[in-house]
Amino acid sequence: MAANNRTTYDVLIAGAGPAGAAAAKKLVDIGYRVAIAEKRQLPRYKICSGLVIDRAQDLLNEYFGDPPEEVFCAPALLKGVRICPKGDIISDFPLGKPYIYNVWRSSFDRWLVQQSGADVLEEHKLIGFRQAESAVYADIEDPDKELLHIKASYLIGADGGSSLARNRLDSTFNKQVHWNTFVQLYCTGDIELDPEFYYMFFDPSLQAFYTWLHYKDDYLVYGVGTRIGESLSSCVDESTKYLEKYFDLKVDSVNRKTGCIVSDMAVSGNFMPGGGRVLLAGEAAGFMNVFGEGISSALATGHLAASAICEADASGDPVLPIYEELLEPEKRMTVQSWGIAGDLSIAKKQ
């Protein structure tokens, strides 16, 4: 995926996640010249359980076709999601399909981006932009820290939850939302739970509002989500003891421990579609469904951003109002999804 030397594109996309890839795929298929600037080298690690639920599977199939074998980890198909309050398993979360894909985000996202057909500028970081009447001028830092100036008719900020594009559009925005912290551990070990399910533990006695666990290849992966400011290590210790006590967790070694922060934009319905000729998609725009499922909305909103651009070019109308209108059903669906969290008292804790 080498970059060419072009500095003018129809659309520049920041971020090579599912939102960026879905936008790129639609635009390239129609004939737009598209570049994706990704700040990391691909394949890149992304903290994620890597579960592709029913809706995401349908969107994948519609936009990209079925994913190849190499993006899956074992067990490749999970039978479902089990919800476990108070040291017990009470229910299987209802799913529209009999299985969930279990993928590694590194290879999954790289596959999506490869399928898009866009020019992919790896290790190219969006650091700023300015807008003119009919174009966006983006400043991109290349791997040698040299500045590259790219002119595009539109910029799609698909640069994830800590979006620089969003921050440049409104530097006060990040202060208006609340942030939660997530940490995930990749361990070797064992637990008395069926490996073909994904588990969510919501025990009000735990500091973490949410503890999760599942298998990925040889790893037992578990993590916690908690409010920013709470001691992460004590949350992890407490959840570990909880899993040891109720489910006989035995950890031999912790091979990797990663964390991130996630805003409550989706929980509060505080989405940000963009500004002018800059559209935000996926988590950058605030889309994430209940239990932290975000691949489906990233695919959907990336695709919608591309649709809005096509419609704006065909009609001569400004792109942002078109995009805002297209996003309405997705916003409603996202906000509704968090109603389930209210029932499980997660939203109250967040």
Ligand X SMILES: Cc1cc2nc3c(=O)[nH]c(=O)nc-3n(C[C@H](O)[C@H](O)[C@H](O)COP(=O)(O)OP(=O)(O)OC[C@H]3O[C@@H](n4cnc5c(N)ncnc54)[C@H](O)[C@@H]3O)c2cc1C
Instruction: Give the residue with the Cβ less far from ligand X, 161 or 193.
Output: 161
CB of 285 to ligand X, least distance (A): 8
Does 80 contact ligand X by CB under 6 A?
A: no
CA distance 203 to 348: 13
Q: Which of 67, 80, 223, 273 binds ligand X (CB under 6 A)?
A: 223
**Beta-carbon contacts of residue 269 (< 8 Å; ≥ 6 apart):** 331, 334, 335
Does 73 contact ligand X by CB under 6 A?
A: no
CB of 205 to ligand X, least distance (A): 22
Does 121 contact ligand X by CB under 6 A?
A: no
Q: Binding segment for ligand X among 26-34, 48-56, 65-73, 112-120 (CB under 6 A)?
A: 48-56
Token pair, residue 298, equals 């990233």
- Closest residue by Cα to residue 115 from 71, 56, 58, 160: 71
Does 168 contact ligand X by CB under 6 A?
A: no
Instruction: Give the residue with the Cβ less far from ligand X, 56 or 341.
Output: 56
User: 13 and 35 in contact (C-beta within 8 Å)?
Assistant: yes
Instruction: Give the residue with the Cβ less far from ligand X, 177 or 313.
Output: 177
Instruction: Give the residue with the Cβ less far from ligand X, 30 or 258.
Output: 258
Does 274 contact ligand X by CB under 6 A?
A: no
Alpha-helical regions (H) of 117-214: 164-169, 173-176
Determine the 3-state secondary structure of 93 from DSSP.
Answer: strand
Distances in Å between the Cα of 339 and the Cα atoms of 91, 238, 268, 297 are 17, 27, 11, 17
- Closest residue by Cα to residue 199 from 349, 78, 345: 78
Note the residues at the interface with ligand X (CB under 6 A).
14-20, 37-40, 44, 46-51, 56, 125-126, 158-160, 164, 182, 184, 223, 260, 262, 282-284, 288, 292-295, 298
